Amino acid sequence: MTPQPGMLWLGLDPADGGVDERHLEHQVLDLLVGLHIEADLVCTHVVTSQGRTCVAASARLTGRAAGPLGETALLDALRERWSGAAVLEGPADEPSVETGPRGARTGARTAVAQARDGLAGRAVRFPGQETLDGPLPVAAVPLVSAVTAVIPAVGELQPDTVLDPSGHVRPHFEEGRLVLLVRPGPAGIVIPVEKLNEHACAGH
């Protein structure tokens, strides 16, 4: 398999039965670092197929994977730790390569297509994320990052309303847009709906 021209998208399905997107987020970011894979957009996805719900991940590759190592070597590396993986090239409907058992392949394919088409996915890395490191007006967010729109989960927003990203910005894809949901925070600012520390797992 030789490297293909065009943008490459990687889909990953851990197939471990887990449903924790935050846990998966750390797994996939660690994986990319470990394999020296450069990606400018990384998402987690909730995928349901044949009655099975799981979380999967996607990444838009920007460098090395399209280089000499090639996709096959990449998949070989992934196979050891991930149950399912798929690579989509540009606008193709079918993966150029994939690996893993059928269920996990489906998860990986679904995730990668969702991200590529902007239909769904929770972005854990996206262009401009590093600029959202301190308070700024919500109207500025689409100007400095890939976030398309800032939407209030409750209440109303003015363009000069200040967003405090609090170091944790996880917008999601929806109908082709990358949307950041926000909510009221202290002193008239807004904050992302997704908090850094959710009380979701512990006994509380």
The smaller minimum CB distance to another protein, of residues 176 and 204, is found at 204
Paired with 179 in beta bridges are 149, 172
Q: Establish if 156 lies at the interface with another protein (CB under 8 A).
A: no
Closest CA to 117 of 4, 7, 20, 5: 7
Cα distances (angstroms) measured from residue 159 to each of 130, 150, 151, 183: 21, 10, 11, 14
Location of structure tokens 């007006």: 137
Residues 6+ apart with CB under 8 A from 174: 119, 120
- Which of 34, 90, 155, 167 is in the footprint of another protein by CB under 8 A? 155
Q: Establish if 143 lies at the interface with another protein (CB under 8 A).
A: no
The smaller minimum CB distance to another protein, of residues 89 and 194, is found at 194
x/- binding map, residues 6-45, to another protein, per CB under 8 A?
A: -----------x-xxx------------------------
SS3 state of residue 64: helix
- Tell me how far, at minimum, the Cβ of 45 lies from another protein, in Å: 10
Rule CB under 8 A: which of 80-119 touch another protein?
Answer: none
- Which of 15, 54, 57, 86 is in the footprint of another protein by CB under 8 A? 54
Asked if 162 and 136 count as a contact pair (C-beta separation under 8 A), the reply is yes
Q: Establish if 196 lies at the interface with another protein (CB under 8 A).
A: no
Alpha helices (runs of H) in 61-159, residue ranges in sequence order: 70-79, 102-116, 141-144
Classify 120 in phi/psi space as left (phi over 0), alpha (psi -120 to 50) or beta: beta
- Tell me how far, at minimum, the Cβ of 108 lies from another protein, in Å: 16
- Tell me how far, at minimum, the Cβ of 78 lies from another protein, in Å: 22
Rule CB under 8 A: which of 176-195 touch another protein?
Answer: 181, 183-187, 191, 193-195
Binding footprint of another protein on the chain (CB under 8 A): 17, 19-21, 46, 51, 53-55, 153-155, 181, 183-187, 191, 193-195, 198-200, 202-204
